Amino acid sequence: MLVYPQIDPVAVHLGPLTVHWYGLMYLCAFAAAYAMGKYRARSLPGWQQNAEQISDLIFYAAMGVVLGGRLGYVFFYSFDHFLEDPRWIYQVWKGGMSFHGGFLGVLAAMVLYARRYKLTFWGVMDFVAPLVPLGIFFGRIGNFIGGELWGRPVENPDYPFAMIFPQVDHLPRHPSQLYEAVLEGLLLFAIVWMFSSRPRPEKAVAGVFALGYGCGRFFVEFFREPDADKGYIAFNWLTMGQLLSTPLILLGVILLVLAYRTGNPPKTA
234: β partners? 238
Average pLDDT value for residue range 8-23: 82
Outline where the chain has alpha helix (H): 21-43, 51-76, 79-84, 99-116, 121-128, 132-145, 176-180, 188-195, 204-220, 240-262
Residue 74 lies in a domain: no
Number of structural domains the chain divides into? 1
Average pLDDT over residues 142-150: 88
The amino acid sitting at 250 is L
Q: What is the pLDDT of residue 23?
A: 83
How confident is the model over 96-117, as pLDDT tens digits? 677 778 889 999 999 999 999 9
The residue with greater pLDDT, 115 or 236, is 115
Average pLDDT over residues 177-201: 95
Q: Quote the pTM value.
A: 0.87
Question: Within a domain: residue 96?
Answer: no
- At residue 39, does pLDDT exceed 60? yes
Q: From 110, 87, 99, select the one nearest 180 (Cα to Cα).
A: 99
Residues contacting 169, CB < 8 A, separation 6+: none
Model pLDDT, residue 71: 83
Which region among 29-33, 102-106, 173-177 has the lowest average model confidence (pLDDT)? 102-106
Q: Is 173 a domain residue?
A: yes
Lowest mean pLDDT among 47-61, 134-148, 190-204: 47-61
Residue 160: φ, ψ to 5°: -65, -25
User: What's the mean pLDDT in 153-162?
Assistant: 90
Quick one: average pLDDT of 59-64?
Answer: 92
Q: Where does the pLDDT of residue 94 fall: very low under 50, low under 70, confident under 90, or very high at 90 and above?
A: low
Q: Residue 224 burial by CB count (10 A; 0-12/13-18/19+): exposed, middle or buried?
A: buried
Q: In this structure, is residue 111 part of a structural domain?
A: no
pLDDT band at 35 (very low <50, low <70, confident <90, very high): very high
Residue 219 lies in a domain: yes
Look at phi and psi of residue 15 and say left if phi exceeds 0, alpha if psi is from -120 to 50, else beta. Answer: left
Rounded mean pLDDT of the chain?
87
Average pLDDT over residues 64-85: 77
Q: What is the pLDDT of residue 116?
A: 93
Determine what percent of the chain is predicted with pLDDT higher than 70.
Answer: 91
Does 253 score more than 60 pLDDT?
yes
Higher pLDDT, 188 or 231: 188
110 is a domain residue: no
Q: Read off the pLDDT of each residue in 132-147 and give the average, rounded to a whole number.
A: 91
Q: Mutual orientation of helices 204-220 and 188-195 as an angle, nearest 10°?
A: 170
Is 232 inside any structural domain?
Answer: yes
2: in domain: no
What pLDDT was estimated at residue 90? 66
Mean pLDDT, residues 61-67: 89
Instruction: Give residue 269's pLDDT band: very low, low, confident or very high (50, 70, 90).
Output: very low
Q: Is 236 exposed, middle or buried (0-12, 13-18, 19+ CB in 10 A)?
A: exposed
| Residues of the domain holding 215 | 10-48+120-262
